[in-house]
Amino acid sequence: GAVVSQHPSWVICKSGTSVKIECRSLDFQATTMFWYRQFPKQSLMLMATSNEGSKATYEQGVEKDKFLINHASLTLSTLTVTSAHPEDSSFYICSARGGVGGRNTIYFGEGSWLTVV
Amino acid sequence: KNQVEQSPQSLIILEGKNCTLQCNYTVSPFSNLRWYKQDTGRGPVSLTIMTFSENTKSNGRYTATLDADTKQSSLHITASQLSDSASYICVVSANTDKLIFGTGTRLQVFP
């Protein structure tokens, strides 16, 4: 069964609105979570690294005011795409580090499809 | 520059055949190397993880090798099945939180 759960699996929103994606670690505490986006036929691109209780570290070129990341607990991180535009349409994936395998084990969520119309 | 390159970019094989996917990396300092399987529209699923001292690791029909001297890894799939059709991603970790992703190999298995 999945150890990292993302919700929603897919979402369609109007241009200019905001949408929130949740990433939960199931049955383990994840001090670090990662957010990626993936365009068709391309590899995952790291957007930000999220540590519980502190501000996320964003990769170069990722707008932190547009992609708000909150890691308020050891089992939940959220990504909010603010004022979404059609070019934000993508597949967003989170991952969490920890669990039985320890620090070297990273589990990915199932991903969330965002379509902005 | 830390990079991970995979080959071939895509591969088509018949069901029951074996295949080998390649991964070359220039990541330093090296921490570990992982192979993931990603079905279309799904999140990646871990197949193997190897540290510097490990040369081979198996997971069912998947066998990964690592040559830390030449900075190469391979993923061998034995007796392929239709369900093996997916993208296979090589991911190398430096001694930091950062994972460096390869662009993946898209495998298609036909009956």
Cβ proximity of B23 and B5 under 8 Å: yes
The pLDDT tens digits along chain B (111 residues) read: 788 999 999 999 999 999 999 999 998 888 899 999 999 889 999 999 999 889 999 999 999 999 999 999 999 999 999 999 999 999 998 876 678 899 899 999 999
In angstroms, rounded to a whole number, what is the distance separating the alpha carbons of residues B80 and B86?
12
Dig out the tokens for A82 from the structure: 């603010």
Residue A1 has pLDDT above 80, yes or no: no
Residue A22 confidence (pLDDT) above 90: yes
Contact between residue B27 and residue B34 where contact means Cβ atoms under 8 Å apart: no
Q: Three-state DSSP class for A104?
A: helix
Closest C-alpha among B107, B109, B105 to residue B24:
B105
Q: A101: nearest CA in chain B?
A: B49
Q: Using CB atoms and an 8 Å cut-off, which of residues 53-92 of chain B contact chain A?
A: 89
Q: Is B99 on the interface with A (CB under 8 A)?
A: yes
Q: Is the peptide bond before B29 cis (omega within 30 degrees of 0)?
A: yes
| Dist. CA A113–CA A21, nearest whole Å | 10
Half-sphere exposure of residue B61: CA atoms within 13 angstroms, side-chain side: 13
Q: What is the distance in angstroms between the Cα of A46 and the nearest Cα belonging to chain B?
A: 8
Kindly state whether A99 is in contact with chain B, defined as any CB-CB distance less than 8 angstroms: no
Which residues make beta-bridge pairs with A36? A46, A93
Give me the mean pLDDT over the A70-83 stretch. 92
Residue A65 confidence (pLDDT) above 70: yes
Query: Considering only residues 52 to 71 of chain A, which have any Cβ-Cβ distance to chain B shorter than 8 Å?
Result: none
